[in-house]
């Protein structure tokens, strides 16, 4: 299955000043029954986002109107820790976030993000703090994430480079998940099968 391509993203950034945000905070266990990738955004951060009666908590940053259309999430270290659940990046993506910027990520969440079309970017703490503060001080100021150039910019004020594995960059730019990457290699697979059939023809004989 193809994912939406990610080349350049310009949007509002939401600052979530929390560290060690685990996957149960991102998407609590009671919402894991579905195998659909859509519809989870409304439940993301459920326990800290809503009151007991279901009304939004006014002091939760992602409920504040200036960040309602945010497509970039800036947060603290060790984001996505805890139990392994692919529903976590599904929920983040369904909220509208295509990019998450943090000092560090839990490995499983980090890997799952790429597989679902989300770009997780690791930056030094001081750079994350600068982006966080700029998003708080001026919510309307857009940030541009350029995957091809591997840069993050905010007008003429901030500009940072980031690292990314070349294979993950290729996947995001071309909108390829694991199946799409395999399909890219169809000619090589077909060539191997043809040569292997010539060498070991008995393996390819159909049983009567």
Which residue has tokens 């049983």? Answer: 207
Residue 19: pLDDT band with limits 50, 70, 90: very high
Nearest to 165 by CA among 120, 105, 128, 126: 120
10 Å Cβ neighbour count for 33? 7
Per-residue pLDDT tens digits for 153-182: 998 899 999 999 999 999 999 998 655 555
Domains defined along the chain, listed by start = 8-176 (3.20.19.10)
Does 52 have pLDDT greater than 70?
Answer: yes
Q: How far, in Å, are 20, 30, 98, 182 from residue 127 at the CA level?
A: 18, 35, 19, 36
Instruction: Report whether pLDDT(66) > 80.
Output: yes
121-153 residue pLDDT tens = 999 999 999 999 999 999 999 999 999 999 999
Residues 70-103 have pLDDT tens digits of 999 999 999 999 988 899 999 999 999 999 999 9
56 three-class SS = strand
The pLDDT-based confidence of 39 (bands split at 50, 70, 90) is very high
Mean pLDDT, the chain, integer:
90
The predicted structure's pLDDT at residue 185? 56
């Amino acid at each position: 299955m193809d994912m939406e391509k990610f080349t350049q993203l310009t949007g509002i950034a939401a600052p979530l000043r929390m560290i060690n945000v685990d996957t149960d905070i991102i998407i609590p266990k009671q919402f894991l029954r579905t195998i659909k990738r859509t519809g989870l955004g409304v439940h993301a951060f459920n326990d800290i986002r809503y009151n007991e009666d279901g009304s939004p908590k006014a002091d939760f940053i992602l409920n504040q109107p200036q960040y309602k259309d945010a497509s970039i999430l800036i947060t603290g270290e060790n984001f996505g820790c805890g139990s392994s659940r692919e529903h976590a990046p599904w929920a983040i993506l369904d909220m509208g976030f295509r990019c998450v910027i943090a000092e560090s990520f839990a490995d499983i969440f980090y890997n799952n993000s790429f597989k679902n079309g989300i770009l997780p970017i690791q930056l030094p703490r001081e750079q994350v703090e600068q982006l966080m503060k700029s998003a708080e001080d001026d919510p309307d100021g857009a940030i541009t994430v350029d995957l091809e150039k591997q840069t993050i910019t905010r007008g003429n004020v901030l500009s940072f480079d980031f690292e990314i594995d070349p294979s993950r960059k290729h996947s995001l730019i071309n909108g390829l998940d694991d199946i799409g990457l395999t399909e890219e290699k169809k000619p090589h697979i077909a060539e191997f099968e043809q040569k292997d059939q010539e060498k070991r023809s008995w393996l390819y004989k159909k049983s009567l």
